[in-house]
Structure 1
Amino acid sequence: MKKYEAVIILNPNLSSKASDFEKDFEKLLKSNSFSIQKKEDVGRRQLAYSINNHNKGHYLLFNIEGDASKLIDIENKIKYNESIIRHLFISVKEHNGEDSQLLQDSKNKKNDSEEKAVDKDKNQQSKSSESNEKQQVKEKMVEADQDDKVDNSSESPELEKEEQKEQEDKDE
């Protein structure tokens, strides 16, 4: 029995039916005497280049074990499936027990995007609080300026009267 890794990229428009396809593919594998060691539904990802006018694809990964002659039958059966935009079977010596690099990257991107969203919210909150503080400072400055003007305007007539008296005294 040989070990294989299978990568299947589905039409992204059929992401909602990915679980149905996954079940059908498992039945196909089992009917051809393949055992499934591990399966991963990576989800929708950006493709490196456009395939059949699709820029995204829904990725499914399988670690399988079975007879090489049966693998040809499986490939022939899935080759003409219109929901599959690409497939690849790779022979491996041993299956890796960890998550695939593709799944890890997807998880990291999700975590990064969640962290960015949280940071963005925090930045917006701090900016709004800073702008509120600035607005309050501006309002206080305007109030202080208005108070000074009121004080100066109330002193001005008295000063003017005193100055006029001094001028009159000097003139006499």
Structure 2
Amino acid sequence: MKKYELMTIYPIEDEKFKDGTEKVKAVLAQFGATVEKEESYGDRDLAYEIAKQKRGRFVLFTVKANPAKIVEINTQFRLNNNLLKSLFVKLDDKEAK
């Protein structure tokens, strides 16, 4: 298991945000990943329009996951209509502690 940071962007509507975060956590659990920390970065303007949205709600997850499952997790994320964007960043061993 490697440690990753997962940045996610959701629509700012409360229902879509809650549904999106629940689905993200469910997909992570489905593939055996564990969420160690969840940080909300609030609503921010997007650099460019995504799915006709000019603002998004940002959430940063610290996750432990099997590196072989990251591609499958990203595929499932694309099916989530309430998730505008996501990005996994692998943490170095020094950063992971």
TM-score, normalised to structure 1's length?
Answer: 0.50
Superposed displacement of residue 73, structure 1: 1.0
Q: Answer with 1 or 2: which has the greater Rg.
A: 1
Aligned to 1:111: none
The corresponding residue for 2:7 is: 7
Q: Which residue of 2 aligns with 1:73?
A: 72
* Alignment partner, residue 29 of structure 1: 28
Structure 2 matches for 1:1-172, cutoff 5 A? Answer: 1-12=1-12, 14-93=13-92, 94-95=95-96
Kindly indicate whether the alpha-carbon contact (under 8 Å) linking 1:38 and 1:64 is maintained by their aligned counterparts in 2. yes
Gaps of 5+ in 1: 97-172
CA deviation vs aligned residue, 1:125-150 (integer Å, no higher than 9, x gap): xxxxxxxxxxxxxxxxxxxxxxxxxx
Which structure shows the higher strand fraction?
2
Q: Describe the superposition over 1:20-39 as per-residue Cα deviations: whole angstroms up to 9, x where unpaired.
A: 32222212111211111101
RMSD: 1.8
**Greater RCO (CA < 8 Å, at least 6 residues apart):** 2
**How has the CA–CA distance of structure 1 residues 45 and 9 changed in structure 2, closer, same or farther, with 3 Å as cutoff?**
same
What secondary structure sits across from 2:84 in the alignment? strand
- What's the secondary structure of 1:16's corresponding residue? helix
Alpha-carbon offset, residue 2 of structure 1: 1.0
One-letter identity of the residue aligned with 2:69: K
Query: Identity, % of aligned pairs?
Result: 27
Q: 1:86: Cα distance to partner?
A: 1.2
In the alignment of these two chains, the number of paired residues is 95
1:88 Cα deviation after fit: 0.7
What code does the residue aligned with 2:39 have? E
Q: Relative to 1, partners in 2 of residues 1:50 and 1:17: Cα closer, same or farther, differing over 3 Å? A: closer
The answer (yes or no) to whether the contact 2:4–2:64 under 8 Å persists in 1 is yes
- Structure having the larger proportion of residues in helix: 1
Structure 2 segments unaligned to the other structure (5+ residues):
none
Question: What TM-score results when the alignment is normalised by the length of structure 2?
Answer: 0.82
